[in-house]
Copies of this chain bind each other. A is one copy, B any other.
Amino acid sequence: MKAITVKPGKVGVEIKDIELKQIKNKIKVRTISTGICGTDREIVYNELNFVKPEEGDYLILGHEALGIIEESIENSIFKEGDLVVPMVRRPGNCKLCKIGRQDYCLDGNFIEAGIRGKNGFMCEYFYEDEKYLVKINKSIQEYAVLVEPLKNVMKIVEVFNFLKNRVSWECDDSTYSCKGAWIFGTGPEGILISLVFKSLGLITTIVNRHPLPTNILDFLDINGIEFFNSSSDDWSKKLKDYPMDVAIDAAGTTEIFNQIIEHINNNGIIILFGTKGSGSIEKGEFITKIVDKNLSIAGSEDGSKLHYIQASNYLENYAPKQNIKNLITGIYKPEDIWILKEKPKDEIKSIIKWS
C-alpha cells in the first residue's frame, strides 16, 4: 500500500510502498482521509526532537484520520462498514494512564501515532486495537477528520469548566452573557476553539496580528465571532464591548502571553494550548498582574477518549448550522506530498483523501 513516511532526525517526506502484517485481535481499518496539521510539517522539517519510529528507521506520518472498518474481530462492538477515528496517544503505566487519562500522563512514557513510537495513518489501511477507535456517525463523514483536532478543544472546555468554579464567575444573572472569550491564533485549532466558546454563550473574539483572508472572515461572520487585528486595532476600544474574561492561546508566543496578562479582567481564566514559539518577555510585571488579578492559568495538552466522543457529538449536532465543512479548504491525493512541505495560501485545513 501507499504510505507517507518520514525519517526521524532527517528533513524530508516521501511516499513509499509498504505492506503491514495482519495483527491478531486487531481490527483492519481502511483510511478514508487524513488531516494535515502544523505538527506534521514540523516533523517533515525535523523541528521536533521527540519524533521516533515504531520500528526500523521510518515513521508513517499522520495523526488526524477517518477510516472505515474493513475487517473486524469476534465480539467487537465494531462491524464492517463502521466509520472510526483512531486515537493518537496510547497510555503508559502511570496512575493517570491507568484511568484513561494519558493526556495527563505523569511520566511521559506514552506513545503517539504518527509522532512518537507508533506509525500514523497516512497510508491506505492500518490495524488497530478496538479500544483506541471511536465510532463516528455517518452524517458527519465529510468532516469527521476534524474530530482529532476538535478533541483538544473539548479538553480545553473541560479545563475551563473546572477553572471557572474557583470563584463565583458568572454574571450577576447567572449567565455568561457579560463575559468574553478571546482566542489567539486563527489556525484550525483557534477557529474551532472560537466556535465552541461561542456556542457556550460567551462574547467571542479571535485575534491575529495579520489581516485574515476572506474565506476565514466569512466563516467567522456566519458564526458570530468577532475578529481583532492586534497590530492595527485599538485594544481599549475593542475591550469595552468585547471583554476579556477568558483567553485561550493557540499560538504559543510570549508576546501574546504578555498581551493577555495586560488586558484580561480580574479573576480571568487563561488556557494555553499553543506551543510553537520562543521569545522573551520584556517587562517582568506579568507576575504582579497574575497575583493582583487573581488569575488562573492552565496548560492544556491533548485530550482523552471522552473528548474524542464529545468532539464527534459536537460535529453531529452543531456542524450543520456552522458551515463547518468550509473549514476544509483543500482536498489532496496521497501523491501530493508537497502539501506536507508547504502551506497553501488561505489554508484552514488541508486533507488527503485515501479512498
Chain copies in the assembled complex: 4
Query: A355 interface residue, CB < 8 Å from B?
Result: no
| A279 and chain B: residue at smallest CB distance | B284
| A267 and chain B: residue at smallest CB distance | B104
Interface string of A230-252 (1 = CB under 8 A from B): 00000000000000000001001
Judging by beta carbons under 8 Å apart, are A95 and B99 in contact? Answer: yes
Q: Which residues of A contact B (CB under 8 A)?
A: 95-96, 98-101, 103-108, 131, 139, 159, 161-162, 165-168, 170-177, 199, 201, 249, 252-254, 257, 265-267, 272-275, 277-301, 304-306, 309-310, 313, 316-318, 320-321
By CB atoms of chain B within 10 A, which of A297, A304, A313 has the most? A297
Q: How far is the CA of A162 from the CA of B101 in the complex (A)?
A: 19
| A176 and chain B: residue at smallest CB distance | B306
Return the contact of A174 from the options B105, B252, B275, B304 (Cβ within 8 A).
B304
Judging by beta carbons under 8 Å apart, are A265 and B106 in contact? Answer: yes
Judging by beta carbons under 8 Å apart, are B285 and A282 in contact? Answer: no
Judging by beta carbons under 8 Å apart, are B266 and A108 in contact? Answer: yes
By CB atoms of chain B within 10 A, which of A107, A177, A265 has the most? A177
5 tightest CB-CB pairs across the interface, nearest first? A100-B174, A174-B304, A279-B284, A290-B299, A278-B284
